[in-house]
Amino acid sequence: MTTKTNNSDIDTSSKDFYRLSIQISLNGLSFCILDTVQNVVISSDRVTFHRELTPYQTLKELQQLFEKHAIPTAHFAEVIVIHRNKLFSLVPKSLFHVDELANYLKFNARILANDHIAYDELEEHEVVNVYVPFVNINNYIYELFGAFTYKHHGTVLVQSLLNEHLGAKEPIVYVHVFGKEIDITVISNKKLLFFNNFEYETQEDFLYYLLFTLEQLQLDTETVDLKLLGAIEQDDALYKVCYEYVKRVAVFYPSSDFVIPLATKELETIDFTVLNAL
């Protein structure tokens, strides 16, 4: 596995105003700690796996990451866990019924009879995100800290982008790059038009999912705004291939109320969803 680290020797043993955000994926882990009094990110780390692990192996990696930063002995005012996976489905609130959770997922994801299914409500936007969390991770976090909040990464991403989009009326396509995954979100006039997650291996795969989404939504590559965020920069090959086919493309830097130390920025240890879950 490869690791990017921002090591901070922070004594969190009695800091009841610290907030911890953790993202769990079978392809990697990340976390950050926010000082809510100073509004400063004081510690963060990210681990990327070379291959997709099992939930059991991922838990072992999380335990090692936590021990490295002495997190099990720390005190937090709030703990937030973000489950990043493809086992989800967005449902209009008008069609949602809590007794039908498995039915919302079975056409989009492979689920087991004993899978625990949860859901997040995006109340202001009349959308419900139905998903399968990593139960073994939740159990471990509960053993450490007691009650905590957990969400799906799509919930955090969509909510954050809708909040960023408040002043825009024309469609905007957001592509969040995370390892070999992309989240495509399309928002128009403060409403969510589309959200989905795709895995890609090559630039051609990346471009296919993007252009197919634009085609299905009848968005013109000459006029639509494409904003790239996450693990991508303007000189990256993915950016350049996007620019060949979509004329209005830019790297998107979301606004934040938090102060992020320069060293942390340079290490790029904080994922968009980890920060925006706080």
For residue 179, give the CATH number of its domain. Answer: 3.30.420.260
Amino acid at 85: N
Residue 142 to residue 22: CA distance in whole angstroms: 13
The reply to whether 36 and 144 lie within a common domain is: yes
pTM of the model: 0.89
CB 8 within 8 A of CB 68: no
Q: Has residue 26 got a pLDDT over 90? A: yes
The reply to whether 49 and 166 lie within a common domain is: no
Q: Has residue 50 got a pLDDT over 70? A: yes
The reply to whether 140 and 32 lie within a common domain is: yes
The reply to whether 47 and 116 lie within a common domain is: no
3 state SS of 179? coil
The reply to whether 172 and 241 lie within a common domain is: yes
The pLDDT value given to residue 265: 46
Q: Which domain holds residue 179?
A: 162-251
How far is C-alpha 173 from the chain's CA centre? Answer: 16
Residues ≥6 apart with Cβ < 8 Å to 12: 18, 33, 70, 71, 73, 74, 75, 76
The reply to whether 212 and 94 lie within a common domain is: no
The reply to whether 55 and 187 lie within a common domain is: no
The reply to whether 74 and 97 lie within a common domain is: no
Q: Count of CB atoms within 10 A of residue 120's CB?
A: 20
The reply to whether 114 and 97 lie within a common domain is: yes
Domain count of the fold of the chain:
3
Confidence of residue 246 (pLDDT cuts 50, 70, 90): very high
The reply to whether 185 and 67 lie within a common domain is: no
The reply to whether 30 and 70 lie within a common domain is: yes
**Which CATH number is 27's domain given?**
3.30.420
Residue 216 to residue 212: CA distance in whole angstroms: 6
The reply to whether 116 and 171 lie within a common domain is: no
Among residues 141, 6, 15, 5, the alpha carbon closest in space to that of 72 is found at 141
Q: What is the DSSP letter of 6?
A: E
Tell me: the pLDDT tens digits for 254-277? Answer: 666 656 654 444 445 467 788 888
Tell me: the pLDDT tens digits for 195-226? Answer: 999 999 999 999 999 999 999 999 999 999 99
